[in-house]
């Protein structure tokens, strides 16, 4: 058994009827050459066989939640549990003509229902009916199981990078028995003693971190053009989130994003956030009729990037001001880069692991009820307007059962009062963009991905670079219907 850490527990407690806390991982498989190479078509049975033979490598997919009697501590993971693949692996049909738009609609429907906590917290949906010999593997994995880095490592274990079966594949894995209530209570007591012993240091670290941040803020000139915590402006993206989900994707060339960053002397992440600022400005002008104040983005950062970590949430977050009120795209990039540097400095002064350490002390009997109350009433998130993530994916093409994976999309969760989450996942030579929203925000969620493409194009043209090229290895674009 292993205890959920504080961040894991927070993600579990914060799940409510309208705020699901599962993440999505989507792998697009192009199986055009599979039949000729393997003598059989690529089918659900091939995928099922692959998962069965690699399940012993995918440890978190064999975890089951175990509650502590009387909720005296955070739940625990029971490891090496039996897995019913007939339940967890499912087939789904993509409507004709089977392109990006139709697949995105299927993914949104899958994202709209919660996972069953009585079982291991994941599902894989095998999407058939796509055009051009494509299939999609739609993974729905609870955020409590894995953050972005752990999910990327887990996905790498599901795939192989050679195109041929791995010597590590086998059909069996160890299983264990559930603990008794007495064992759970004794483990909870031991962990509580450790937390009590650690509390003085955590409190001292918090005081020191807040003091450092306060001192630095007084030293620095006050920037009135920057969004701040607890002062986020209201926008059409911020309201009580509905239970239904919508999903949209787009792809751009990795080389062109890197070229843009080099030309402007900023980082890859600065370009992603600068692109988001431009795209969100377009959307705010369309839906709110104004974009006259900067907004605040929550940007997760990993505190453990170990390539061997496949479970747990070792994350904290940056609060980055996005200058959506600025019309000049190059000035937006400059201000975004400066705001990101400032957010990183504040994060380091406060302590990168402090957020996770403080979550250890969430009260299990009270936290879920507080999150439910918040989710049903929060029409304005004062801590963040939007969530934006970047995840570095594999630099080589992966394969599933010998079929090549050509695109990977990933997205996190929606938070109370915030109906916009964008994740940018780099994979081989492309950048795959995903946007998650609810079904009460956009007329067509593909307006959001269109706006991001427009935002990046604006930056490139202002920098004297050509427009974006088409990514031939990805699905055809799905422009918004307007």
The Cα 340–Cα 364 span in angstroms is 34
What does the block give as tokens for 302?
Answer: 């990993």
Handedness of CA 141, 389, 103, 129 (dihedral sign): negative
280: tokens are 């969100």
CA terminus-to-terminus distance, the chain? 52
Q: Is 143 a catalytic residue?
A: yes
Cα(277)–Cα(154) distance, integer angstroms: 31
Looking at 193-282, which runs of residues are DSSP E strands?
A: 245-253
Contact 386, 295 (CB under 8 A): yes
Instruction: Please give the torsion angle defined by the CA atoms of residues 31, 37, 40 and 42, in that order, rounded to the nearest 10 degrees.
Output: -20
Phi, psi of 196, rounded to the nearest 5 degrees: -65, -40
Residue 265, φ and ψ in degrees, nearest 5: 70, 35
Q: Per-residue b/e over 13-32, b at no fewer than 16 CB within 10 Å?
A: bbbbebbbbbbbbbbbbbbe
The string of DSSP codes covering 117-143 is: TTS-SEEEEEEE--STTEEEEEEEEET
Contacts of 370 (CB under 8 A, 6+ apart): none
Contacting residues for 284 by C-beta, under 8 A, at least 6 apart: 235, 236, 290, 291, 295, 324
Residue 430 β-bridge partners = 253, 427
As a whole number of angstroms, the distance between CA 140 and CA 455 comes to: 29
Which member of 20, 73, 142, 143 is catalytic?
A: 143
- Write out the catalytic residue numbers: 143
């Amino acid at each position: 058994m292993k205890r959920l850490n504080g961040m894991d527990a927070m993600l579990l407690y914060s799940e409510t009827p309208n705020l699901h806390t599962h993440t999505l991982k989507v792998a697009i498989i192009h199986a055009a050459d599979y039949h000729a190479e393997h003598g059989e078509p690529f089918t659900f049975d091939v995928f099922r066989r692959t998962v069965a033979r690699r399940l012993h490598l995918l440890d978190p997919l064999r975890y089951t939640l175990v509650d502590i009697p009387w909720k005296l501590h955070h739940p625990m993971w029971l490891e090496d549990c039996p897995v019913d693949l007939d339940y967890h692996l499912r087939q789904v049909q993509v409507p004709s003509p089977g392109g990006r738009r139709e697949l995105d609609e299927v993914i949104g429907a899958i994202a709209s229902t919660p996972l069953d906590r009585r079982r291991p917290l994941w599902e894989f949906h095998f999407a058939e009916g796509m055009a051009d010999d494509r299939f999609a593997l739609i993974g729905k994995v609870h955020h409590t199981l894995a953050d972005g880095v752990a999910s990327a490592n887990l996905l790498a274990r599901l795939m192989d990078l050679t195109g041929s079966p791995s010597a590590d594949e086998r059909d069996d894995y160890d299983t264990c028995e559930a603990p008794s209530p007495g064992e759970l209570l004794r483990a909870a007591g031991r962990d509580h003693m450790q937390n009590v012993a650690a509390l003085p240091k955590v409190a001292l670290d918090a005081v020191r971190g807040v003091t450092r941040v306060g001192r630095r803020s007084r030293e620095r000139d006050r920037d009135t053009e920057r969004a701040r915590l607890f002062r986020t402006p209201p926008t059409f993206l911020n309201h009580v989130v509905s239970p239904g989900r919508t999903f949209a994707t787009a792809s751009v060339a990795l080389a062109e994003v890197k070229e843009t960053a080099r030309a402007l002397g900023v980082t890859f992440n600065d370009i992603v956030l600068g692109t988001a600022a431009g795209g969100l400005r377009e959307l705010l002008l369309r839906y709110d009729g104004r974009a006259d104040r900067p907004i605040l983005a929550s940007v997760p950062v990993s505190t453990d990037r170990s390539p061997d970590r496949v479970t747990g949430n070792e994350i904290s977050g940056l609060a980055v001001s996005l200058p959506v009120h600025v019309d000049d795209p190059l000035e937006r990039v400059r201000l975004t880069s400066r705001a990101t540097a400032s957010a990183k400095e504040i994060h380091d002064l406060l302590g990168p692991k402090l957020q996770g350490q403080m979550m250890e002390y969430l009260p299990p009997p009270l936290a879920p009820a507080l999150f439910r109350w918040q989710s049903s009433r929060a029409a304005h998130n004062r801590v963040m307007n939007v969530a934006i993530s970047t995840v570095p994916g594999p630099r080589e093409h992966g394969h599933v059962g010998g079929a090549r994976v050509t695109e990977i999309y990933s997205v996190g969760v929606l938070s109370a009062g915030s109906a916009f989450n964008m994740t940018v996942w780099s994979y081989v030579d492309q950048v795959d963009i995903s946007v998650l929203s609810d079904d009460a925000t956009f007329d067509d969620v593909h307006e959001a991905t269109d706006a991001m493409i427009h935002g990046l194009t604006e930056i490139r043209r202002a920098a004297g670079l050509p427009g974006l090229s088409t990514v031939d290895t990805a699905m055809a674009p799905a422009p918004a219907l307007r």
